[in-house]
């Protein structure tokens, strides 16, 4: 008899986990609140994209989806910084185009993963919302779109039902999970830069007219993650394969500018005219989008416990939602899926030890990426303009070239490797200390003593495992 697993949530992490477990011989049932997006369209309808990095690709490869997703993904080779005076500069993420991140549509990705899960043998039940769990009876109540309830029994439950997890609430009612949510004092709003042919000619700038004559699809450089850093706040834009960009405005909730003051589309237009002037003519529906789209909230979710013995486990955002600034929420969740599938495969009839191992292995890594994601907000919105930051960045590049496999930029370890996040975090701290020591009081690379640099690196950083 195949061991049974019941998953709650067929979002990105749930669908990948279902695929990997079904591939490994488990009888997998999945209950998903929303209707099947392959039939009803992806809810929301807006093009929302995500940045996929190496950890995410690894999960997709195991699911057999690399080629299918590869065709839909737009390469982002670096950060395109839009300075207040309108000039731009590309800061590459890696050494060459083999080191890039990729923008993919959430809807397309989720649908591909649902196909893969079903092809592997998982059974997905849509329009089934988890409402309550009866731990004594090993059953749960599910409700359909008309709120009609049914009771379903289970043997082992895995919650991949996202940051607002209903399974987490049901587990917390049975035991103290040590749950803590730390809100960020900043929120976000999504806007859109349409493809050039969808921008009304009436509002064209001369640059847009030239782009239209050339037949350009994208209004700004497609192969980059665009950032408008403005100190305490910022805008970003990620390309969509059909030619548009999803723009996200990140602002403090209070203060000026802040969402408490920038309340209406008209307020937002005034803010863009002042601070994001080069983007403004590219966002024709600014007012409409701003008024129609909700203001997203951000924060970090920490739990002391992710599992209830061998009976239930939380994974993905349900266990460790993080702030978005490293673009690693999904990537980290895919790593959860891969590690869990491996652990359960090796102990198919001992979920208790698999779950305990999972938490032991993953929790330090989840905590590390949570911390690094918070730090990357400051780095994205603020430090790009600072002269000393630029010197440290140049020095980092130089040391990385001098000591390959030893001094490796933290961004690279997080984004282009599968080294544990906790290792990237720890080595990153050591490297930052070295950069600070070497650059203290210096204004130029030529003033830095490379013999000291070599010595500090050899003393404090062991070679990375290959």
Binding site for ligand 8R5 (CB under 6 A): 51, 79, 101, 188, 225, 236, 238, 248, 296, 324-327, 376, 380
Considering the rule CB under 6 A, would residue 333 count as an interface residue with ligand FAD?
yes
Taken in order 222, 227, 228, 233, the sign of the CA dihedral is positive
Query: Is residue 37 near ligand FAD by the rule CB under 6 A?
Result: no
Q: Does 107 bind ligand FAD (CB under 6 A)?
A: no
Among 18, 26, 33, 305, binds ligand FAD (CB under 6 A): 33
Q: How far is the CB of 55 from ligand 8R5 (least distance, A)?
A: 12
The residue from 328, 357, 359, 365 that contacts ligand FAD (CB under 6 A) is: 328
Q: How far apart are CA 10 and CA 109, in angstroms?
A: 12
Residues in the chain: 466
From 7, 21, 28, 51, residue interacting with ligand FAD (rule: CB under 6 A): 51
Report if residue 12 touches ligand FAD, rule: CB under 6 A.
yes
Question: Rounded to the nearest whole angstrom, what is the least distance from the CB of residue 246 to ligand 8R5 in the complex?
Answer: 7
Q: Which of residues 122-181 bind ligand FAD (CB under 6 A)?
A: 129-130, 160-162, 166
Looking at the Cβ atoms of 31 and 259, the one nearer to ligand 8R5 is: 259
Q: Quick one: 65 or 238, whose CB is closer to ligand 8R5? A: 238
CB nearer to ligand FAD: pick between 168 and 230: 168
- Which of these segments, 81-89, 328-336, 355-363, 403-411, binds ligand FAD (CB under 6 A)? 328-336
SS (H, E, C) 40-91: HCCCCCCCCEEEECHHHHHHHHHCCCHHHHHCCCEEECEEEEECCCCCEEEE
- Closest chain position to ligand 8R5 (CB): 327
Q: In the numeric block, which tokens belong to residue 225?
A: 């993650």
- Nearer to ligand FAD among residue 99 and residue 350 (C-beta): 99
| Cβ atoms 205, 306 nearer than 8 A | no
DSSP 11: S
Using H for helix, E for strand and C for coil, what is the string for 391-457? HHHHHHHHHHHHCCCCCCCHHHHHHHCCCCHHHHHHHHHHHHHHHHHHHCCCCCHHHCCHHHHHHHH
Tokens 């849509």 belong to residue: 126
Return the residue of 26, 31, 272, 425 that touches ligand FAD, per CB under 6 A: 31
Cα distances (Å, whole numbers) of residue 211 to 52, 208, 244, 286: 28, 5, 14, 21
Distances (CA, A) of 375 to 63, 248, 438: 32, 18, 21
Contacts of residue 333, Cβ cutoff 8 Å, sequence gap at least 6: 12, 13, 16, 160, 315, 316, 317
Q: Which is it for strands 225-229 and 234-239: parallel, antiparallel or unpaired?
A: antiparallel
Residue 380 touches which of ligand 8R5, ligand FAD, none (Cβ within 5-8 Å per kind):
ligand 8R5
Q: Least separation, in Å, of the C-beta of 326 and ligand FAD? A: 8
CB of 104 to ligand FAD, least distance (A): 9
Question: How many whole angstroms separate alpha carbon 324 and alpha carbon 334?
Answer: 15
For position 109 contacting ligand FAD by CB under 6 A, the verdict is no
- For 7, 130, 344, the CA distances from 148, given in Å and listed in that order, are 20, 12, 33
Question: Least Å distance between CB 52 and ligand FAD?
Answer: 7
Q: What is the spatial distance between Cα 454 and Cα 439, in angstroms, rounded to a whole number? A: 14
199 vs 414, beta carbon nearer ligand 8R5: 414
Closest distance of CB 33 from ligand FAD, Å: 4
Residues that bind ligand FAD (CB under 6 A): 8-14, 31-34, 48, 50-51, 129-130, 160-162, 166, 316-318, 324, 327-331, 333
């Amino acid at each position: 008899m195949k061991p049974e697993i019941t998953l709650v949530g067929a979002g990105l992490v749930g669908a990948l986990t279902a695929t990997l477990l079904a591939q490994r011989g488990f009888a997998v049932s999945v209950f998903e609140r929303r209707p099947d997006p392959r039939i009803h369209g992806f809810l929301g309808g807006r093009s929302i994209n995500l940045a996929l990095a190496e950890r995410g690709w690894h999960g997709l490869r195991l699911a057999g989806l690399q080629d299918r997703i590869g065709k839909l993904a737009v390469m982002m080779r670096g950060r395109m910084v839009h300075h207040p005076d309108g000039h731009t500069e590309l800061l590459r993420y890696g050494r060459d185009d083999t080191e890039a991140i990729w923008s993919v549509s959430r809807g397309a990705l989720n649908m591909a993963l649902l196909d893969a899960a079903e092809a592997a043998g998982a059974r997905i039940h849509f329009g089934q919302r988890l409402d309550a769990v009866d731990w004594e009876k090993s059953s749960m109540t599910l409700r359909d779109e008309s709120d009609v309830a049914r009771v379903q029994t289970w043997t082992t439950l895995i919650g991949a039902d996202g940051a607002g997890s209903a399974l987490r609430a049901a587990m917390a009612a049975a035991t103290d999970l040590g749950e803590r949510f730390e809100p960020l004092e900043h929120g976000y709003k999504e806007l859109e830069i349409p493809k050039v042919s969808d921008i009304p000619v009436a509002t064209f700038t001369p640059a847009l007219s030239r782009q239209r004559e050339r037949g350009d699809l994208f209004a700004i450089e497609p192969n980059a993650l665009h950032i408008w850093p403005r100190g305490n706040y910022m805008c970003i834009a990620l390309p969509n394969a059909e030619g548009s960009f999803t723009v996200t405005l990140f602002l403090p909730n209070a203060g000026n500018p802040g969402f408490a003051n920038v309340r209406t589309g008209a307020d937002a237009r005034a803010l863009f005219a002042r601070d994001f002037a080069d983007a403004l003519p590219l966002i024709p529906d600014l007012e409409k989008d701003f008024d129609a789209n909700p203001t997203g909230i951000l924060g970090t979710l920490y739990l002391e416990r992710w599992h209830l013995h061998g009976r239930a486990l939380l994974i993905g955002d349900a266990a460790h939602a993080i702030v978005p600034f490293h673009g690693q929420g999904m990537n980290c969740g895919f790593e959860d899926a891969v590690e869990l599938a491996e652990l359960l495969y090796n102990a198919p009839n001992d979920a208790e030890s698999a779950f305990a191992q999972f938490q032991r292995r993953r929790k330090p890594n989840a905590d590390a990426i949570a911390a690094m994601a918070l730090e990357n907000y400051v780095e994205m919105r603020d430090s790009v303009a600072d002269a000393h930051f630029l010197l440290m960045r140049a020095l980092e590049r130089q040391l990385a070239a001098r000591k390959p496999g030893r001094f490796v930029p933290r961004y690279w370890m997080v984004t282009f490797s599968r080294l544990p996040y906790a290792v990237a975090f720890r080595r990153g701290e050591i490297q930052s200390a070295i950069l600070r020591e070497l650059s203290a009081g210096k204004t130029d690379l030529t003033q830095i003593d490379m013999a000291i640099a070599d010595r500090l690196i050899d003393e404090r950083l062991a070679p990375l495992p290959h």
